[in-house]
Amino acid sequence: MPDHIKPLEKDSKVRKLSGEQTGKSLVPELVKYLGPIILVQLVFVLAPLAIILLFSLLKTGAYGKIIYAFTLDNYVKLIDGGYGMVFLKSFFYAVQTNFMCILISYPLAYYIARYGKRWKMFFIFMIIIPSWTAYIVRLYALKTLVGSNGLINSWLMGFGLIDAPIQFLYTPLAVSVGLVYTWLPFMVLPLFAAMEGLDSSMWEAAEDLGATPFRRFVRITLPLTRGGLLAGTILVMIPALGDWLVPHLLGGSKVMMAGMVVAHKFTTTGDIPAGSCMATALASILLLVLYFVIKWGGREALEQSL
Amino acid sequence: MSPRIWFLRIVSILAYIFLWAPVIVIIVFSFSANKFGIRWEGFTMQWYYKLLENEAVWDACIRSLVIASVTVVVSTALGTLTAYGLYKLKFRGKMLLRTSILLPIVMPEVVTASALLVFFIKATPLTLGYPTIIIAHIVFSTPLAVFVILGRMQRVDWAWEEAAMDLGATRIRAFRRVIGPVLLPGIAGAAALIFPWSFDDFVITYFVAGIGNTTLPVYIFSQLRHGSSPVVNVIGTLFILFTLASLLLFMLVEKRSRAKGM
């Protein structure tokens, strides 16, 4: 929004016509246009978050019955009941996923932006489709491909490379691969958007002046695509941190992640206070990540990459 | 060609194979005669016919369609109104509001899902079912509408609105007759994106659906414990085609609106 380039002084009529509301007339306009969303936000976004915060401070009795008494037990259990490790591990998986996605996305986005030519839109479309396909379908597809009697194993056995199927499903590696598979498009797209806006003569100039590829990346590409990188990080790291289906479907019960524990507490054991506590903890980590990313300038890129 | 470009090309090709191989495999296997849907045993359309007779799938599909349709209408309308307000009005706390609107989509789905679940069962008289699913879908779809339409508003020539209002049109009338039609492609684009967004959702729906209100993604989930099956391959294939169609529609609308000079 080029607000800063608008003329500074305007008479009140121009101001009114151009829709810049000031003083008294602002409130009714606010209510008219933003009242509904504010209401929705308060009732269906903020109130539910406040409610899980509240429930996370309650006790669970026998058979998942909630006892309305204040306690910090859930948080204590979270830290030393083994779940602390689960959170730490999830965080590790999320960082690893983000790192792998960055590693793959930079060359890919750069290649499409600089050498895609008239196929550019097609290449990008082929990244957008997976990002919009129901992720349960994509995970099912991955599982079908790599399962112990899936295509990869039967090919490997067919060629005589292995005698027995490799057990890939239900290993930590499967979870790592699954997370990258699921969230990769969400790193490629904002990075591509950031690179697309750049003038390719910059790289050419640097190349002519003898900069090495590494130096070009560090001095040109990286600083100029920072917004895209931050947006991609929000879109990849946060969902990866709270992912439920990937560890559930690909990790079996072998690999525990925070999102899976939350889902388990709610959908299987029905332990609302403990589940709320974990969801709250997850949400706080997220808010922290979000705060830093926005502070470092990722907001605009994030909103645009939607 | 320099080795550097070959490096970039190989990484890109591998990335595309990684993203697409599993999807292509289930599309191919949806036509395979193998009854576990895991290898090629000759061409058949029988699983597609089987799907037509499968009442559970039909039931889930209709439920998903109803939910997505209601969500599209409400979220797009709310999104347009909100985007207009955010674009036009200047006030303190605007950044806070924008961040808050982003929350439902940047938060891990399990957090939004569990917060809504506890809210519905403990703080409202609603029983889990259509109303709770639809409210949840509106909550996570509206942000998308807001930011897609807001992006489009930045390309509109607002002088037209000023001109209309200068000539005596009220703001509402100016919107209906001038800005609305100009924005329509953007609004339609948002709708084309929200439809699959809502139709595809699994995690949040699974939490707030209650018992028996199976949507199509929830149906797939329920089938997964039996391992792979040709019928799920078929549903997966249809999901991919459906996504493709929605995105093509979105891009078509987008292209039209660019052609109009926006």
User: What are the tens digits of pLDDT across the range A128-169?
Assistant: 999 999 989 999 999 988 887 788 888 888 888 888 888 888
Nearest to A152 by CA among A168, A138, A170, A136: A168
Set out the domains of chain B in order of their start, with CATH numbers: 55-259 (1.10.3720.10)
Q: What are the structural domain ranges in chain A?
A: 78-305
Contact map slice: A 160-189 vs B, CB within 8 A: 181, 184-185, 188
Contact flag A294-B119 (C-beta cutoff 8 Å): no
Contact map slice: B 175-234 vs A, CB within 8 A: 193, 196-197, 199-203, 206-207, 217, 220-221, 224, 227-228, 232-233
How sure is the predictor about B202, in pLDDT bands with cuts at 50, 70 and 90? Answer: very high
Q: Which of chain B's residues have a Cβ under 8 Å away from the Cβ of A146?
A: 22
User: What are the tens digits of pLDDT across the range A59-76?
Assistant: 877 666 777 778 887 888
Instruction: Give me the residue from A130, A144, A238 closest to B106, CB to CB.
Output: A238
Nearest to A280 by CA among B108, B142, B203, B202: B108
Q: Is residue A40 less than 8 Å (CB to CB) from chain B?
A: yes
If you measure CA to CA, which chain A residue comes closest to B24? Answer: A141
User: What are the tens digits of pLDDT across the range A186-201?
Assistant: 999 999 988 888 887 8
- The per-residue pLDDT of chain A, averaged, comes to 83
A199: DSSP letter: -
Q: What residues have CB less than 8 Å from B113, skipping those under 6 apart?
A: A266, B136, B203, B204, B206, B207, B208
Q: What is the pLDDT at residue B28?
A: 92
User: For A274-278, which contacts have Cβ atoms below 8 Å and span 24 or more sequence positions?
Assistant: A274/A60, A274/A74, A274/A77, A275/B114, A276/A52, A276/A53, A276/A54, A276/A55, A276/A56, A276/A74, A276/B114, A276/B118, A277/A56, A277/A74, A277/A75, A277/A77, A277/A78, A278/A78, A278/A83
Q: With 70 as the cut, is the pLDDT of residue B105 above it? A: yes
Q: With 80 as the cut, is the pLDDT of residue A3 above it? A: no
How sure is the predictor about A304, in pLDDT bands with cuts at 50, 70 and 90? Answer: low
Q: What is the pLDDT at residue A151?
A: 82
Q: With 50 as the cut, is the pLDDT of residue A10 above it? A: no
Q: What is the pLDDT at residue B260?
A: 62
User: What are the tens digits of pLDDT across the range A220-279?
Assistant: 888 888 888 888 888 899 899 999 999 999 988 778 898 998 998 888 888 888 889 999
A67, β-bridge pairs: A59
If you measure CA to CA, which chain A residue comes closest to B211? Answer: A267
How sure is the predictor about B178, in pLDDT bands with cuts at 50, 70 and 90? Answer: confident
b/e map A246-260, b = 16+ CB within 10 Å: bbbbbbeeebbbbbb
Instruction: Give me the residue from B100, B146, B199 closest to A45, CB to CB.
Output: B100
Q: Is residue B245 less than 8 Å (CB to CB) from chain A?
A: no
CA distances from B127 to A35, A49, A110, B137 (A): 27, 19, 50, 16
Instruction: Give me the residue from A51, A127, A262 closest to B110, CB to CB.
Output: A262
CATH architecture type of domain A78-305: Orthogonal Bundle (1.10)
**ipTM of the complex model:** 0.89
Q: With 60 as the cut, is the pLDDT of residue A37 above it? A: yes
Q: With 80 as the cut, is the pLDDT of residue A298 above it? A: no
Average pLDDT of the residues in A276-304: 79
Q: Is residue A297 less than 8 Å (CB to CB) from chain B?
A: no
Contact flag A129-B240 (C-beta cutoff 8 Å): yes
Q: How far is B260 from chain A (nearest CA, A)?
A: 20
Q: Is residue B6 less than 8 Å (CB to CB) from chain A?
A: no
Q: Which of chain A's residues have a Cβ under 8 Å away from the Cβ of B5?
A: 115
State phi, psi for A196 to the nearest 5 degrees: -60, -35
- The per-residue pLDDT of chain B, averaged, comes to 89
Q: Who wins on pLDDT, A25 or A301? A: A25
Q: What is the pLDDT at residue A8?
A: 43
Q: With 80 as the cut, is the pLDDT of residue A22 above it? A: no
Q: What is the pLDDT at residue A186?
A: 93
Q: Global pTM? A: 0.88
Contact map slice: B 49-68 vs A, CB within 8 A: none
Burial class (CB in 10 A: 0-12, 13-18, 19+), B67: buried
How sure is the predictor about A31, in pLDDT bands with cuts at 50, 70 and 90? Answer: confident
How sure is the predictor about A302, in pLDDT bands with cuts at 50, 70 and 90? Answer: low
Q: What is the pLDDT at residue A23?
A: 52
Contact flag B19-A272 (C-beta cutoff 8 Å): no
Antiparallel, parallel or unpaired: β A59-60 and A66-67: antiparallel
Q: Is residue A208 less than 8 Å (CB to CB) from chain B?
A: no
Contact map slice: A 232-261 vs B, CB within 8 A: 234-235, 238-239, 241-245, 249, 259
Q: What is the pLDDT at residue B199?
A: 94
User: What are the tens digits of pLDDT across the range A93-104?
Assistant: 999 999 999 999
How sure is the predictor about A21, in pLDDT bands with cuts at 50, 70 and 90? Answer: very low
Contact flag A111-B206 (C-beta cutoff 8 Å): no
d(CA A99, CA A83): 24
Q: Is residue A149 less than 8 Å (CB to CB) from chain B?
A: yes
Contact flag B91-A26 (C-beta cutoff 8 Å): yes
